[in-house]
Amino acid sequence: MFTLYQMPGWGSAIVELQLAHYNLPCDLVEAGELFEDAEARDRLAAINPLAQIPTLILPSGEVMTESAAITLYLADITGRDDLVPGPSTPERPAFLRWLVFIVANIYPTFTYADVPTRFVADGGAAAAFRERVDSYAKDLWRQVAAAVEETRGPWFLGPRFSALDLYLAVMTRWRPREEWFAAEAPGLLSIARAARGFPGVAAAYARNFP
């Protein structure tokens, strides 16, 4: 049994969808409002010092964090390549490139801009900081959209489904929101919407985004 510390609609949804896809048994523990509740942060920090989700407890009791690491690990332990292309597949380099691009570049924009006063004390400066970070995130998404357009779909990697499609399923619900994706990156939104109904993950997606 895995234990996933999560909040509906947050970054933990990316891992929850993968666990559902693999049909791995998982106990879902609501972490609480980590930005606003000091006690919730302290409880999670006792397990994961960053007090961030997803935080996954393996059946062995070991703690795993970082969604990209969890993505690769789950593929390893299941022995499956339907979410993570295997080492000898032609899609492997692109998968690794864009998985790391998303988690190393786009994902941190939410860390910094969700509650900018954690990093910029002055209220006015914090608002400007958030605006600039959100603008930068849009530029990053445009890079992803251009790359995906070259694959000619229907999925991120072209003809084959992968965990990248589940990242899109969740992250297109966040800033800059679906309206922006519809106007600026419709290909990404089309993939995201198709992935949300993919067999095995639809129920988990609906739990996170009712």
- Compute φ and ψ for 30, nearest 5 degrees: -75, 125
Residue 154: asked if its preceding bond is cis (omega within 30°), the reply is yes
Residue located via tokens 């993505």: 71
What type of residue sits at position 160? R
2-83+201-208: which CATH topology? Glutaredoxin (3.40.30)
Which stretches in the chain have pLDDT values below 50?
none
Domain map (residue ranges) of the chain? 2-83+201-208, 92-196
70-80 burial: b if 16+ Cβ within 10 Å, else e? bbbebbeebee
CA 139 to chain centre: 18
CA atoms within 13 A on the CB side of 77: 14
Question: What is the C-alpha separation between 177 and 32, in angstroms, rounded?
Answer: 23
CA atoms within 13 A on the CB side of 141: 28
Q: Provide the pLDDT for residue 102.
A: 98
Q: Provide the pLDDT for residue 152.
A: 87
For residues 161 and 198, the answer to whether their CB atoms sit within 8 Å is yes
Q: What is the pLDDT of residues 72-114, one digit of tens each?
A: 999 999 999 999 999 999 999 999 999 999 999 999 999 999 9
For residues 13 and 24, the answer to whether their CB atoms sit within 8 Å is no
Q: Provide the pLDDT for residue 179.
A: 98
Q: Provide the pLDDT for residue 124.
A: 87
Question: Hey, is 144 helix, strand or coil?
Answer: helix
Q: Of 64, 61, 78, 73, nearest to 24 (Cα)?
A: 78
